[in-house]
Amino acid sequence: MPAKDLETIVSLAKRRGFVFPAAEIYGGFANTYDYGPLGVELKRNIREAWWKSMVRDRDDVVGIDAALITNPRVWVASGHVSNFNDPLVDCKKCQMRWRLDHIEEGQYGEVKRNAAGDVTCPNDGGELTEPRQFNMMFKTQVGTVADEASIAYLPPETAQGIFPNFENVVASMRRKLPFGIAQSRVSFRNEITPGKFIFRTLEFEQMEMEYFCQPPADRNNPVEYLALHQEWINTRLAWYRDTIGIDASRLRIRDHEKAELSHYSAGTADVEYLFPWGWGELEGIAARTDFDLTAHGNASGHPLTYFDEDTKQHVVPWVIEPAAGLTRTLAVAMLEAYNEELDEKGETRVVLKFKPAIAPIKVAVLPLSKNEALRPAARRVYEMVRSTYMAQYDETQSIGRRYRRQDEIGTPLCITVDFQTVGEDGTPGDDAVTIRERDSQVQVRVPISGLLEALRERLPGC
């Protein structure tokens, strides 16, 4: 079963080197976190699993890595400068600032109301100010003179690095519709409300793909386009279940109500996960129609069209956008993998049951003890294994404690080098090691000469 409360995962994440509060020695900084040695590996593995499914395993999607800071006209054309706003309120009593819609949705706990029925501060029940709009984009300055002409923005999403490059990708890669352009990079949003660990942070990594397809014959009844949108919804839902290993009972698809949709959207659906505090978004799959290419074409004076060889006409493709949150997926992977079990001694064993492909450490090499006679063989095994798999070498504390440590960080396999391996009292060793499996705790003896093949069998997708 996954962790029942967030505090359990937050504690484990810090203790074992997954996620640390940013600048903790200075008191931290709201909604910011650093990723430790195991966190960066887990994040990289999830990112690569996404890239494999979206780009490497397909022949209709290519990648891109657009600049973070770009011409500010991009954000004007996309509508972010004028429309990327949240309704904020301040508490007149404690001065804390909140997003009004999140208060009303109960994201800060039980919704409190005064005698008049108005919502009140989630912190102390104080009266709230009238809401006002607040743009979530971070501004920055380019150049040495700080004036209006030097204003630029940090990207709040990855998509607007893709759309202006549509023509470049078509020309250089000779793509035919339908095709996609994928990108994974950091985004920034000036979130002033308290987050839930890494669920909502100032900077976060997104994994997005814009899938360009033929415009529908009937704009008001885009049957084939909406069918393709549904295909992507199904594909992305399956990825969380099959690749990340999330139980299907804790995943759902939520279609956006009409009132939620942007004016240009033909439909949006979210992949949601049942967090300890309730359902929350992991990924949005949006049917963005031709809004973005049209907007950038008009604003730049450079139409972004595709020449259809069959009809001999220039068309503006329609777009489907699966946009996933990498850092949110990391949090879910930890929540979902967390297990507490009783061992044969009746003691609690904490295990992160990551799928092998995303586990930060694939193999741990553990000499039975710190005895000098074991070290040369153990180091030889470690050097052989680490050339293929992300591995750790650990010889401190008892072998039982080291097994527990590897269980708690999600290492699928441990390799033990013992005196049977190297021999003792003049008796030659068998030059074999013991592989211990994390989930079953089953142990099997394998000759070192066949070790890599045995690991390949037990680590699919690695």
Asked if the model's pLDDT at residue 114 lies above 70, the reply is: yes
pLDDT band at 352 (very low <50, low <70, confident <90, very high): very high
Nearest one of 215, 217, 226, 232 to 306, comparing CA atoms: 215
**pLDDT of 361 above 90:** yes
- Whether the per-residue pLDDT at 396 is higher than 70: the answer is yes
> Where residue 244 falls among pLDDT bands split at 50, 70, 90?
very high
- Residue corresponding to tokens 């909604």: 31
Mean pLDDT of the chain: 91
pLDDT in tens, 69-110: 998 889 888 888 877 777 888 899 888 888 888 888 777 778
Mean pLDDT calculated for residue range 55-60: 96
**94-112 per-residue burial string, b: 16 or more CB within 10 A, e: under 16:** eebebbbebbeeebbeeeb
The pLDDT tens digits of the residues spanning 191-214 come to 766 568 888 888 999 999 999 999
Amino acid at position 323, single letter: A
Query: pTM, whole model, 2 decimals?
Result: 0.89
Does the structure show a pLDDT above 60 at 310?
yes
Instruction: Give 163-196 pLDDT, tens digit per residue.
Output: 999 999 999 998 899 999 999 999 998 876 656 8
- Could you tell me if residue 97 is left (phi over 0), alpha (psi between -120 and 50 degrees) or otherwise beta? beta
Percent of the chain with pLDDT over 90: 67
pLDDT band with cut points at 50, 70 and 90 for residue 229: very high
Structure tokens at 305: 């069209």
- What's the pLDDT score for residue 62? 97
- Higher-pLDDT residue of 118, 409: 409
Q: How many residues does the chain have?
A: 462
Triad 247, 331, 366: Cα angle to 5°: 90
Q: What is the pLDDT of residue 4?
A: 67
The contacts of residue 298 (CB under 8 Å, 6+ apart) are 77
Query: What span, in angstroms and rounded, lies between the C-alpha atoms of 351 and 396?
Result: 20
Distances (CA, A) of 171 to 103, 129, 175, 299, 307: 48, 53, 8, 21, 11
Residue 55 per-residue DSSP state: I
Q: Residue 388 burial by CB count (10 A; 0-12/13-18/19+): exposed, middle or buried?
A: middle
Domains in the chain: ranges and CATH: 6-69+141-333 (3.30.930.10), 85-135 (no CATH), 361-458 (3.40.50.800)
Residues 261-299 pLDDT 10s = 887 889 999 999 999 888 999 999 999 999 999 999 999
CA distance 368 to 366: 6
pLDDT of residue 13: 94
What is the predicted pLDDT for the residue at 195? 65
pLDDT of residue 99: 81
